[in-house]
């Protein structure tokens, strides 16, 4: 896949936040943007736009193991997650007023956690945060116990396919098996997983699944919620009744077209891409451990996998905590050295608090504050990793020194 890059991007190691558009997706976007037509209009230009949308829907469905009628285009992952959590809750509640409980893993992205807690504050929902182990993987026994105790009251379960911070791949099929025994639908946020591990909507058995464009070489501002046709799903926004009546709004034809191209490409090259990134990730992990011996890798062992061969960790993810150093200090010092990474989810960047993911894993708050996530993508090279390893020792030393000064000043105050 050829991707477009900005001049002198430095060592970009934040592909989990966003990754460059592929040349094929950009070409598709520009071509579609040059045509006029609202996909809901009945004249020839509108019908041509509708044809692009439906062909894109078919391509997205084929890439993800779904039926075209199960693909609902949205403006991205956050909207899809909100539609899933709120829409399923309201849909189930309308069928049975007892369905007020929402079960979500404690390490979900805030695009799932925040609408769940919004429902608790505004719609009478009761939220249960399902615990995870020290590597960030869901505690299936806790889920089993909740389902056994409250089956008739549960509206839905939402467990992400793979964690965006520490890369832990979740046992989604086991979640589905347990939940469906009690007639409870399952939503999964698969944004980080697509293009890195096998994601098949039908085979997984999930009832709803979130995907987005800008993590896989597509544009920002487009994604999809895959939802089974028989799933009780209420609209979150109202208007023209587009997309099965649950997602109103004029369809962004160029973005949808580019998204489908990027998705098809990402899924088609997944095995080769994942193998290359896993090897590069392993070099990065070994290097960080060598140049910063006190650093602690968080999340599953990169070499571990399930009995059927599914990796326990995303191939493009490496997440460390650096004792005695603040993550923000590390990030800015690395950035000054031409290396771009993140402290966790970009959606929470700038918020001076430890990651809820690390805290749920049992990491002490002081250690959780010293987190950095390195995530790889199509443009990542060995030179990027070398740049990180060259800069990291000095950066960690300076960040720890700054932390000592700050602690002394705080004590003096």
Whichever domain contains 311, its CATH number is: 3.90.1150.10
Does 207 share its domain with 223? Answer: yes
3-state helix vs strand vs coil in the chain, percent to 5: 45, 15, 40
Within 221-302, strands assigned E span 223-227, 296-297
Whether residue 368 lies inside any domain: the answer is yes
In what helix (H) or strand (E) does residue 373 lie, and over which residues does it extend? strand 371-375
Whether residue 105 lies inside any domain: the answer is yes
Q: Which two tokens stand for residue 341?
A: 């990474």
Does 72 share its domain with 182? Answer: yes
Does 91 share its domain with 144? Answer: yes
Place of tokens 């060995």: 382
Q: List the beta bridge partners of residue 128.
A: 103
**Rounded to whole angstroms, what are the CA distances from 153 to 68, 86, 97, 181, 294?**
32, 16, 9, 14, 46
Q: Which two tokens stand for residue 101?
A: 């409980």
Which of 244, 267, 290 is a domain's end point?
267
Q: Under a CB-based contact definition with an 8 Å cutoff, are residues 216 and 377 in contact? A: no
Digit-coded pLDDT (tens) for 296-318: 999 999 999 988 888 999 999 99
| Structure letter (DSSP) for residue 239 | S
Whether residue 4 lies inside any domain: the answer is no
Which residue range(s) make up the domain with 75? 23-267
Q: Under a CB-based contact definition with an 8 Å cutoff, are residues 91 and 146 in contact? A: no
Does 235 share its domain with 340? Answer: no
Whether residue 1 lies inside any domain: the answer is no
Helix 44-64 and helix 253-268: axis angle, to 10°?
20
Does 236 share its domain with 111? Answer: yes
Q: For the chain, give the mean pLDDT.
A: 94
Does 84 share its domain with 208? Answer: yes
**How much is the pLDDT for 7?**
47
Does 239 share its domain with 278? Answer: no
**How much is the pLDDT for 148?**
98
**How much is the pLDDT for 345?**
55
Q: Residues 332-338: contacts with CB within 8 Å, 24+ apart?
A: 333/395, 333/398, 333/399, 334/372, 334/388, 334/391, 334/392, 334/395, 337/387, 337/391, 337/394, 337/395, 338/10, 338/11, 338/387, 338/391
Q: Under a CB-based contact definition with an 8 Å cutoff, are residues 193 and 212 in contact? A: no
Does 174 share its domain with 233? Answer: yes
Which of 226, 243, 267 is a domain's end point?
267
Q: For the chain, how many structural domains are there in total?
A: 2
Q: List the beta bridge partners of residue 321.
A: 296, 371
Q: Which two tokens stand for residue 286?
A: 């070994």
**How much is the pLDDT for 1?**
65
Handedness of CA 282, 274, 255, 77 (dihedral sign): negative
- CATH code, 258: 3.40.640.10
Task: State the DSSP string of 93-157.
Answer: HHH-TT--EEEEETT--HHHHHHHHHHHHHS--EEEEE-B-TTS-B-HHHHHHHHHHHGGGEEEE
Whether residue 152 lies inside any domain: the answer is yes
**How much is the pLDDT for 370?**
96
Which of 238, 267, 296 is a domain's end point?
267
In what helix (H) or strand (E) does residue 15 lie, and over which residues does it extend? none
Q: Which two tokens stand for residue 406?
A: 């700050």
Whether residue 252 lies inside any domain: the answer is yes
Catalytic residues: 347
Task: State the DSSP string of 334-362.
Answer: HHHTTEE-BSS-GGGTT--S--HHHHHTT
| Overall size of the chain counted in residues | 413
Which among 224, 227, 226, 206 is positioned nearest to 215, based on CA atoms?
A: 224
Q: What is the value of pTM for the model shown? A: 0.94
Whether residue 6 lies inside any domain: the answer is no
Say which residues have a Cβ less than 8 Å from residue 194's Cβ, sequence separation at least 6. 64, 211, 215, 216, 263, 266, 267
Does 107 share its domain with 207? Answer: yes
Weakly modelled stretches of the chain, pLDDT under 50: 7, 349, 412-413
Does 202 share its domain with 302? Answer: no
Whether residue 326 lies inside any domain: the answer is yes
Does 151 share its domain with 233? Answer: yes
Give dist(CA 347, CA 337) in Å, integer.
23
Place of tokens 């109202």: 238
Does 54 share its domain with 122? Answer: yes
The maximal CA–CA distance of the chain, rounded, in angstroms, is: 74
**How much is the pLDDT for 351?**
53
């Amino acid at each position: 896949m050829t991707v477009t890059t900005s001049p002198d991007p430095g060592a970009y190691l934040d592909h989990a936040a966003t990754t460059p558009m592929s040349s094929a997706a950009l070409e598709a976007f520009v071509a579609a943007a040059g045509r006029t037509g609202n996909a809901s209009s009945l004249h020839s230009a509108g019908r041509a736009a509708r044809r692009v949308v439906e062909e894109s829907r078919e391509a997205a469905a084929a890439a993800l193991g779904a039926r075209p009628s199960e693909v609902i285009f949205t403006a991205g992952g956050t909207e899809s997650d909100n539609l899933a959590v709120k829409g399923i809750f309201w849909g189930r509640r309308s069928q049975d007023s007892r369905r007020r409980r929402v079960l979500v893993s404690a390490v979900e992205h805030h695009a799932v956690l925040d609408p769940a807690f919004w429902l608790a504050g505004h719609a009478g929902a009761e939220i249960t945060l399902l615990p995870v182990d020290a590597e960030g993987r869901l505690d299936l026994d806790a889920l089993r116990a909740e389902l056994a105790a409250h089956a008739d009251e549960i509206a839905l379960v939402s467990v992400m396919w793979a964690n965006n911070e520490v890369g832990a791949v979740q046992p989604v099929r086991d979640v589905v098996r347990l939940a469906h025994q009690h007639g409870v639908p399952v939503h999964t946020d698969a944004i980080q997983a697509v293009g890195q591990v096998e994601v098949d909507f039908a085979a997984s058995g999930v009832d709803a699944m979130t995907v987005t464009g800008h993590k896989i070489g597509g544009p920002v501002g487009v994604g999809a919620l895959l939802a089974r046709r028989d799933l009780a799903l209420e609209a979150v926004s109202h208007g023209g009744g587009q997309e099965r009546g649950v997602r109103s709004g004029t369809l962004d034809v160029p973005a949808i077209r580019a998204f489908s191209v990027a998705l098809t490409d990402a899924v088609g090259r997944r095995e080769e891409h994942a193998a290359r990134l896993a090897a590069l990730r392993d070099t990065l992990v070994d290097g960080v451990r060598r140049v910063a011996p006190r650093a602690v890798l968080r999340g599953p062992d990169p070499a571990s996998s399930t009995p059927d061969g599914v990796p326990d960790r995303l191939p493009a993810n490496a997440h460390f905590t650096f004792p005695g150093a603040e993550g923000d200090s590390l990030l800015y010092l690395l950035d000054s050295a031409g290396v771009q990474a993140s402290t966790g989810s970009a959606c929470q960047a700038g918020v001076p608090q430890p990651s809820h993911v690390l805290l749920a894993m049992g990491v002490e708050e002081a250690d959780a504050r010293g987190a950095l996530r390195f995530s790889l993508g199509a443009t990542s090279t060995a030179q990027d990793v070398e740049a990180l390893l060259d800069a990291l020792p000095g950066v960690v030393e300076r960040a720890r020194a700054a932390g000592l000064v700050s602690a002394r000043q705080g004590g003096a105050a």
